[in-house]
Amino acid sequence: MRDTNLLGPWVRRFLLEHLVAERNLSINTQKSYRDALALFLPFAGTRLKKPVDRLTVVDLSPDVLREFLAKIEGDRHCSVATRNQRLSSIHSLARFIGLRSPEHVSWCSDVRSIPLKKTTRPLVGYMDKPEIDALLTQPCRTTRQGARDYALLLFMYNSGARANEAAGLTIDCLQMGTSPSVRILGKGNKLRLCPLWPVTVTALKPLLESRGANDRVFRGRTGEPMTRFGIHRIVTTYATMAGEKLPSLKNKQVSPHTIRHTTAVHLLRAGVDINTIRAWLGHVSLDTTHIYAEVDLEMKAKALASVNIESLPKPAKTGKPTASVLNFLSSL
């Protein structure tokens, strides 16, 4: 008879059956859960002086979990967001076990009672139009490598693609006909279509010559597919070069995700509705897309300029609002 108290079989079922077969999560999400457990289980084994393969479900007590969270914040200097991500992964494991093993419901409840920490969401970083233009002018387009780098930067700005999405892009995902577009596989295996500018199509075409439909669009010097780390290096290198010519870029941390944020903010400034931007970027919720409206100073400045302070009605000396004030407020 199988011992339902041993933790090992539960972890195996959670990672290989639940996350893959039942929930069909993306590879990156699966790795995130795996990494959280790869840190927590050895810590629990050391703390309890037991081999990892002999740990039981109840060994992962709330006290051990709290010590683990304190350790990754103190010793590993993880941010609150990372701490919450690790805790969420363990919460998911506890819920998985609790739903399938009634004798562990109480343990599941105790583990899941440990709350996530509140944290301040940092402001989204993006580039203004002169800054993204300066970035795009850095690659030497007369060389093969420079032409590839220019096409990569322009494609990411055009589509708002993440670094791993650009790295995994294959030629058959590009439509270069009368209505050029790209099909991008994003988070959660979600597909989205983005239109391509004519200038983007022109930059991409030399990269596709004599290539198969299943080949990666962006390849390194040796012909191997580029990785998200290689794309990150390219972006940061050219951002440093652009910062030498444009001082405003020196104080900004530019990454592939910064280009993605830049795409969203520029679409917003161009008058594109927020729901279209959500579909463009592949966001699941509008709440995620609304952060761009919160950080765009140019649109806030325009909104402020549209309010003429001189024309605002002055309050009556009695301290009571006048009819004109009430009419103005009701029109907002």
Residue 251 lies in a domain: yes
CB atoms within 10 A of CB 164: 19
Task: Determine what percent of the chain is predicted with pLDDT higher than 90.
Answer: 61
145 and 294 share one domain: yes
- Judgement on whether residues 152 and 59 belong to the same structural domain of the protein: no
Q: What is the pLDDT of residue 1?
A: 34
Residue/partner pairs of 240-244 with CB below 8 Å, 24 or more apart: 241/138, 242/131, 242/134, 242/135, 242/137, 242/138
| pLDDT for 248 beyond 80 | yes
Q: Does residue 316 belong to any structural domain of this protein?
A: no
Give all strands (DSSP E) within 155-207, no chain letters.
Answer: 174-175, 181-185, 191-195
- What total number of domains does the chain contain? 2
* CB burial readout 231-249, b (16+ within 10 A) else e: beebbeebbeebbeebeeb
DSSP notation for 76-133:
S---HHHHHHHHHHHHHHHHHHHHH-GGGHHHHHHHHTSPPPP-PPPPPP---HHHHH
Domain boundary among 112, 144, 177: 112
**Does residue 211 have an active-site annotation?**
no
Q: d(Cα 298, Cα 330) in Å, to the nearest integer?
A: 26
Judgement on whether residues 74 and 166 belong to the same structural domain of the protein: no
Q: How confident is the model at residue 116 (pLDDT cuts 50, 70, 90)?
A: very high
**Same domain as 226, residue 256:** yes
Q: What is the DSSP letter of 23?
A: S
Candidates 260, 261, 266, 278; catalytic one = 260
Q: Is residue 329 part of a domain?
A: no
pLDDT of residue 24: 84
Q: Which of 20-29, 83-92, 318-327 has the highest mean pLDDT?
A: 83-92
On whether residue 82 sits in a domain, the answer given is yes
- Check if 238 is active-site: no
Report yes or no on 61 lying in a domain: yes
Range among 77-81, 89-93, 292-296 with highest mean pLDDT value: 89-93
Q: Look up the domain containing 209 and give its range.
A: 129-303
258 with 126: CB under 8 angstroms? Answer: yes
Q: What 8-state DSSP symbol labels residue 171?
A: G
- Residue 72: pLDDT band (50, 70, 90) is very high
Mean of pLDDT values over 75-86: 93
| Structure-model confidence comparison of residues 82 and 287, the more confident one | 82
3-state helix, strand and coil shares in percent for the chain, rounded to the nearest 5: 60, 5, 30
Could you tell me if 223 and 269 lie in one domain?
Answer: yes
Known catalytic residue: 283? yes
Q: What is the pLDDT of residue 187?
A: 79
Mean pLDDT within 138-164: 94
Residue 3: its pLDDT value, please?
67
As a whole number of angstroms, the distance between CA 255 and CA 117 comes to: 27
* Distance (Å, whole) CA 124 – CA 103: 45
Return the H-helix or E-strand segment holding 164.
helix 163-167
Answer yes or no: is 84 within a domain.
yes
| CATH number of the domain bearing residue 68 | 1.10.150
* Residue 157 appears among annotated catalytic residues: no
- Angstrom distance (rounded) from CA 195 to CA 179: 8
| Residues sharing a CB contact under 8 Å with residue 96, sequence separation 6 or more, in sequence order | 10, 13, 14, 18
* The last residue of a domain, from among 112, 137, 171: 112
Q: Are residues 40 and 140 in the same domain?
A: no
CB burial class (10 A; 0-12, 13-18, 19+) of residue 257? middle
Give the tokens for residue 185: 């596989």
Q: Give the active site residue among 71, 228, 232, 257.
A: 257
Clarify whether residues 181 and 231 are in a common domain.
yes
1 in a structural domain:
no
Q: What pLDDT band is residue 325 in, cutting at 50, 70 and 90?
A: very low
The CATH number for 146's domain is 1.10.443.10
Indicate the residue among 54, 83, 112 that finishes a domain.
112
In order of 24, 34, 121, 233, the CA distances from 28 in angstroms are 12, 10, 22, 20
3-state secondary structure of 205: helix
Mean pLDDT computed over 50-68: 94
11 and 106 together in one domain: yes
User: Is residue 219 domain-shared with residue 284, that is, in the same domain?
Assistant: yes
* Token pair in block for residue 82: 């990372």
Q: Does 86 participate in catalysis according to the annotation? A: no
Give residue 260's pLDDT: 92
- Write out pLDDT tens, residues 119-150: 776 667 889 899 999 999 999 999 999 999 99
CB 184 within 8 A of CB 159: yes
Q: How far apart are CA 214 and CA 209, in angstroms?
A: 13
Distance CA(249)–CA(276), nearest Å, equals 29
Range with the largest mean pLDDT of 16-30, 49-63, 259-273: 49-63
192 with 227, same domain: the answer is yes
**For residue 324, is pLDDT > 80?**
no
Beta-carbon contacts of 146 under 8 Å, excluding residues fewer than 6 positions away, are 139, 140
Instruction: Say whether both 135 and 280 belong to one domain.
Output: yes
Residue 6 to residue 137: CA distance in whole angstroms:
59
- Mean of pLDDT over the chain: 86
Assigned domain for 309 exists = no
- Residue of 47, 112, 187, 232 marked catalytic: 187
What is d(CA 172, CA 300) in angstroms, rounded to the nearest whole number? 41
- Which residue of the set 86, 162, 216, 261 is catalytic? 162
- Provide the pLDDT for residue 123: 66
Asked if 153 and 135 count as a contact pair (C-beta separation under 8 A), the reply is yes
Indicate if 155 and 287 belong to the same structural domain. yes
77 is catalytic: no
